[in-house]
Structure formats: C-alpha cells, structure tokens
Amino acid sequence: MLNGKTILITGGTGSFGNHFTDYVLQHYKPKKVIIYSRDEFKQFNMRNRLAQYDGIMRYFIGDVRDQARMRRAFDGVDYVVHAAAMKQVPACEYNPNEAIKTNISGAMNVIEAALDMGVKRVVALSTDKAVNPINLYGGTKLVSDKLFIAANSYSGFKDTRFAIVRYGNVAGSRGSVIPFFRNLVDTGHTELPITDFEMTRFWISLEQGVQLVIKALAESKGGETFIAKIPSFKITDLAKAILPGCTLKEVGIREGEKLHEVMVTKEDSLHTYEYDKHFIVYPHMAWWSTEKIIPGGEQVPRGFEYSSGTNNQWLSVSDIETLLKSVVEH
C-alpha cells in the first residue's frame, strides 16, 4: 500500500516518527519519506542513522505553525502522518498559548496544506487525554481531533481523507512512567512514588501504534477514529515489576492527571464498532453514511466504555516483567 508512495511525517524525529520510518523502510518500498520537524540536530542524527536510505529520505526543517512552509513540504506527497504536538501536560498547562498554536493552529495548517496540495490520506495521532479532557493538552487535542474529522467535509470531490488514531502513553516513550522509575532505580532508590495506588493505564508498544496508523491509512474512508485493543495494568504492578520488593509511597495525583485512561466514552458507544484488534468510532456528521462502515466489525453495546480501569485484558507483574525486556526508551 505504501510502495511507490511519498509519505511525510510531521514531528518525524520523535519516538513515533523514528519507529514509523524504520517500519516503512523495512516493510515497504516507498518513493520518498519526508521528515518534517523543527530540530536540526535530531534530523542530523536521523540522517546519519538512516544513511543507507539517503536516496529516498528527505529532511525538511519546518514548524506546523508555518502554513507556507507546510504547503511547500506537502507538494507531491501522497500520505501524511501528523505526529507533531506539544505533549507534556505540565508544559501545556504553563504555556497555554504555545500549546494552542502548535496543537490547534498546527492542525488547521496541516488540513489546509493537505487539501490545497492534493494529499490523498492524512492520519493524525491523538491521545486518551483528548477524551473528556481535564487538562489543556487534552483540550487542545480534542479540538484537533474535531478539526481533522470535520475536514472531510471540505474535501468535496477530491480524494483527500482524514482520520484519527488514538492511544495512550507508549511504553518507554519520553514522558512515560517507565523511564522515570528506571532512573530512580539506577540512582539507588528503593522507594518508588505512586501518585495513586488505584491508578491504571493501557499498555501499547510503538510497534502496535505504527501498525494501527498503517491500517488507518489503508482502510479509512474519512472521519474515523481508530483505537487499539490493548491490555491494562496497575501502576503499582509496574513498579513491582521494575523493582521487585520495592517500597511504594502514595504521593497524590498531579495536576491534569487522570486515575484511569478512557479511549471510548459511553456517549461514543452509539457510533463505535469493535473489530478483532481495534475499535473504530465513526463520525456523527451529516456528510457521513453507514455505507462507509468498514466490514468485519460489530457495534458495541449502548453505554459501553473502553477504560483502563474496567478493561477485560490485564497484565500481571510477571507479564510486565516480560514486556519490559523489550522496551527501549525513546
């Protein structure tokens, strides 16, 4: 599906962008892969790491806030994966104007550039924090999601389609709890802080995130939100897996932090279908019709909620210990 195509990744030097690029280069034969990001040093490192692919790799210094630069970068592009964002909850709380410029205005710029330059498919990465948001980061990503869904009504007879892929913190990614705990252990701590002993999270690997994005690129008819079916774990069990026999100290929930992650709300259940390895929330818009429902799924029961606290798949301490062996921090 990606063979012979030109793919652009915004925020392409991040953990997802690196893994997505590796996966595409190893499994497909794209015409060109364009990395669009602000950090010249990360681009320099990525270029050196992928030197064998210099013939098809391209590196654009640019910001999603700059629509003119994006239009230039999107020229001749078939597929866009929008991964650029301000993601750190505290940073967004204390720099709200900057979060809005990147996460909301940036999304609008991606949409306008994709429509104007004839991009065929756009998949935007979302987050559990966009569901019933309680912090600014989640609020900006909720608006971003709505913008990308609504953008399908602008495409008219063009073949440009927009979709969302939603998941929580990726295991080992920057900002996740795994590198935080590991750093404490490496510096000799035997007590690990837990914000709340009841807290749960979903477990997703970068590989799973990448595969879901590729599925969305291949199957989207426009406006869907793809959500991976993944196991839950307790934060206390993660701590025990990282440091068996450790002491746990409850320190209180941080600003903007949730007790459990929610990926599908009860309200969304009316438009959600369950598939073998994922859910799809279909748009509730006048331009959308049930004829666009992807075959193979079954509508979830009314009132269904996909939450890390009530999930039917759970990781034990031993399961987490096994998974941690393959977690590389990004």
Domains belonging to the chain, first-starting first, are 6-170+203-229+262-306 (3.40.50.720)
Higher-confidence position of 243 and 328? 243
Which pTM was predicted?
A: 0.93
66: alpha, beta or left? (left if phi > 0; alpha if psi -120 to 50): beta
pLDDT of residue 176: 77
pLDDT(85) > 90: yes
The pLDDT value recorded for residue 330 is 60
Residues identified as active-site: 129
Q: Once rounded to an integer, what is the mean pLDDT over residues 264-290?
A: 94
pLDDT band at 329 (very low <50, low <70, confident <90, very high): low
Neighbours of 58 (CB within 10 A): 14
Query: What's the pLDDT tens digit per position in 145-175?
Result: 999 999 999 887 788 999 999 988 788 776 6
Report the percentage of the chain scoring pLDDT > 70: 98
Buried b (16+ CB within 10 A) or exposed e, 24-52: bbeeeebebbbbbbbeeebbeebbeebee
Summary mean pLDDT of the chain: 94
Give residue 53's identity as a one-letter amino acid code: Y
Residues 282-311 have a mean pLDDT of 94
Residue 175: predicted pLDDT:
67
